[in-house]
Amino acid sequence: MAYELINFQEEVIGSSFTLPVIVDFWATWCEPCGMLEPIITSLAEENKGQWQFIKVNFDEHPELAKEYNIMGIPALRIFHKGEIIASFNGLMWKPQLREWIDGELSKIAPRA
């Protein structure tokens, strides 16, 4: 399930020390953002407990867009332990997005 941002420091930075957090920078006027939203929401439901999903409205939080160098949307960022570990700008279909997320998260998974 997607959650709209309330407190970035707590919900993204703080939470990323427990689980990776995928942040979707989006806007209501962005057509690709609207296409991406149900795809990533579906993946978030399928992967509940493995990572969190937060949506950040680009227009409502321009300071965050500037701080994280968001020049175009949709823009996905994966945060882990307070840092961005992966970035992607644009639209991906579900199989590609799943592969990208799994690939990036496998880099931080503890090795057995």
| Catalytic positions, written as ranges | 30, 33
Tell me phi and psi for residue 12, to 5 degrees.
Answer: -105, -65
Report yes or no: 70 and 90 within 8 Å, Cβ to Cβ. no
Other beta carbons within 10 angstroms of residue 93's beta carbon come to: 10
